[in-house]
């Protein structure tokens, strides 16, 4: 991946066309660096390329929106659109999905929308690319009232609606612990700096009274993120904390110093891998947050903090 990155950065004529054998990490690099071929330029006659884009969408390299914009470019006649439920079975997989989608977006009838959506979803599942039709499907279903869903589609409706509307997890504020405190609200609601600065120093004042309080990495993650955004911690409290303890790997720090944002994000994705964020060690999370603070990538940082810091019920 480093050789690939250097080739991209040093060659003004850099071109790379991924294939089915291209590692996922290269796909991620191409996506994060905006190096993937534009959907508008895809040759609809290139069957292998279209199949590859579907797979890449399933893996998150292309967005669902990009894939469905590609589907809209296919040309079908009126007879094919009217007899979609029979015709799509006779076409190549991606052509059938394009036909189903085009008919779907022309449909107003609730039962027809559910029928076409379920057929389209099944087609994706049969090709082992089901993730390519998650968000789009959920957005379609959310427009349908639950009471209007026929009983034979209720399971399909509920299962796929949840992708867009996951069960809500409530955050329980615990002001006895810094990283579980009301300061978390800043990362959700983006308070004014002066307001969160006062709340931060007030909270630290109350924490200081607890002689046995032990500052954790998670506390430092939260406080250093606030400092990165401009919050000033009173000098009288600074001896309570040893900031900047994160041990960012040397290769990542060099990339940060060179403002190689895409490469840093790629390395972070590589470190996280398939793991749940909550399963990562506090020291790993700490250096990830520190890296994001240095790069001022606040949306990603805030998302991670709100996943790993709060007490949830």
Q: Residue 28 pLDDT more than 80?
A: no
Place of tokens 């015709």: 87
Q: What is the pLDDT of residue 264?
A: 85
Q: What is the pLDDT of residue 226?
A: 94
> Among the listed ranges 61-75, 108-122, 168-182, 211-225, which one has the minimum average pLDDT value?
168-182
pLDDT band at 112 (very low <50, low <70, confident <90, very high): very high
Tell me the per-residue pLDDT of 155-189, one tens digit each, with 9 for 90 and over: 999 999 876 444 555 778 999 999 999 999 998 87
- Spatial distance between the Cα atoms of 28 and 267, rounded to a whole number of angstroms: 10
Q: Residue 141 pLDDT more than 80?
A: yes
pLDDT band at 32 (very low <50, low <70, confident <90, very high): low
Q: Residue 296 pLDDT more than 80?
A: yes
Q: What is the pLDDT of residue 5?
A: 55
Q: Which residues contact 101 (CB under 8 A, 6 or more apart)?
A: 68, 71, 72, 120
Higher pLDDT, 282 or 30: 282
259 Rama sector, left if φ>0, alpha if ψ -120 to 50, beta otherwise: left
> Among the listed ranges 32-36, 53-57, 102-106, 260-264, which one has the minimum average pLDDT value?
32-36
Q: How many C-beta neighbours within 10 Å does residue 80 have? A: 19
Q: What is the pLDDT of residue 198?
A: 94
**Mean of the per-residue pLDDT values of the chain:** 86
- Spatial distance between the Cα atoms of 100 and 76, rounded to a whole number of angstroms: 11
Higher pLDDT, 313 or 193: 193
pLDDT band at 271 (very low <50, low <70, confident <90, very high): confident
Q: Residue 238 pLDDT more than 60?
A: yes
pLDDT band at 59 (very low <50, low <70, confident <90, very high): confident
Distance set, CA 54 to CA 20, 66, 74 (Å) = 11, 10, 15
Helix axes 64-72, 93-105, angle to 10 degrees: 90
pLDDT band at 212 (very low <50, low <70, confident <90, very high): confident
pLDDT band at 303 (very low <50, low <70, confident <90, very high): confident
pLDDT band at 299 (very low <50, low <70, confident <90, very high): confident
Q: What is the pLDDT of residue 23?
A: 66
Return the HEC string of the chain.
CHHHHHHHHHCCCCCCCCCCCCCHHHHHHHHHCCCCCCHHHCCCCCHHHHHHHHHHHHCCCCCHHHHHHHHHCCCCCHHHHHCHHHHHHHCCHHHHHHHHHHHHHCCCCHHHHHHHHHHHHHHHHHCCCHHHHCHHHHHHHCCCCHHHCCHHHHHHHHHHHCCCCCCCCCEECCCCCHHHCHHHHHHHHCCCHHHHHHHHHHHHHHHHCCCCCCCCHHHHHHHHHHHHCCCCCCHHHHHHCCCCCCCCCHHHHHHHHCCCHHHHHHHHHHHHCCCCHHHCCHHHHHHHHHHHHHHCCHHHHHHHHHHHCCEEC
Q: What is the pLDDT of residue 166?
A: 47
Q: Residue 36 pLDDT more than 80?
A: no
Q: What percent of the chain has pLDDT over 70?
A: 85
Q: What is the pLDDT of residue 9?
A: 59
- Spatial distance between the Cα atoms of 163 and 136, rounded to a whole number of angstroms: 10
Tell me the per-residue pLDDT of 224-234, one tens digit each, with 9 for 90 and over: 999 999 999 99
Looking at the DSSP bridge assignments, the partners of residue 312 are: 171
Average the pLDDT over 285-301 and give the result.
90
Q: What is the pLDDT of residue 16?
A: 60
């Amino acid at each position: 991946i480093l050789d690939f990155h250097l080739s991209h950065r040093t060659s003004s004529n850099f071109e790379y066309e991924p294939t089915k054998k291209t590692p996922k990490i290269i796909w991620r690099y191409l996506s994060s660096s905006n190096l993937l071929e534009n959907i508008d330029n895809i040759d609809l006659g290139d069957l292998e390329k279209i199949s590859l884009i579907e797979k890449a969408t399933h893996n998150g390299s292309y967005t669902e929106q990009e894939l469905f914009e590609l589907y809209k470019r296919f040309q079908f006649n009126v007879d094919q659109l009217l007899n979609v439920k029979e015709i799509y079975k006779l076409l190549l997989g991606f052509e059938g999905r394009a036909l189903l989608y085009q008919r779907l977006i022309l449909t107003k009838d609730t039962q027809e929308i559910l029928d076409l959506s379920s057929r389209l979803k099944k087609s994706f599942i049969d090709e082992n690319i089901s993730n390519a039709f998650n968000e789009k499907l959920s957005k379609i279903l959310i427009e349908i009232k639950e009471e209007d869903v026929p009983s034979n589609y209720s399971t399909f409706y509920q299962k796929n609606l949840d992708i867009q509307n996951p069960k809500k997890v409530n955050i329980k504020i615990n002001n006895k612990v810094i990283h579980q405190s009301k300061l978390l609200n800043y990362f959700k609601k983006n308070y004014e700096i002066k307001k969160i600065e006062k709340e931060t120093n007030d909270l630290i004042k109350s924490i200081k009274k607890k002689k046995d309080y032990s500052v954790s990495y998670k506390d430092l993650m939260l406080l250093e993120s606030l400092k990165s955004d401009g919050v000033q911690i009173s000098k009288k409290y600074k001896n309570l904390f040893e900031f900047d303890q994160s041990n960012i790997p040397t290769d990542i720090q060099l990339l940060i110093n060179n403002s190689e944002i895409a490469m840093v994000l790629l390395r972070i994705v590589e470190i996280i891998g398939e793991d749940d964020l909550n399963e990562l060690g506090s020291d790993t999370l700490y250096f990830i947050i520190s890296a994001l603070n240095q790069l001022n990538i606040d949306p990603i940082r805030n998302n991670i903090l709100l996943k790993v810091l709060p007490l949830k019920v």
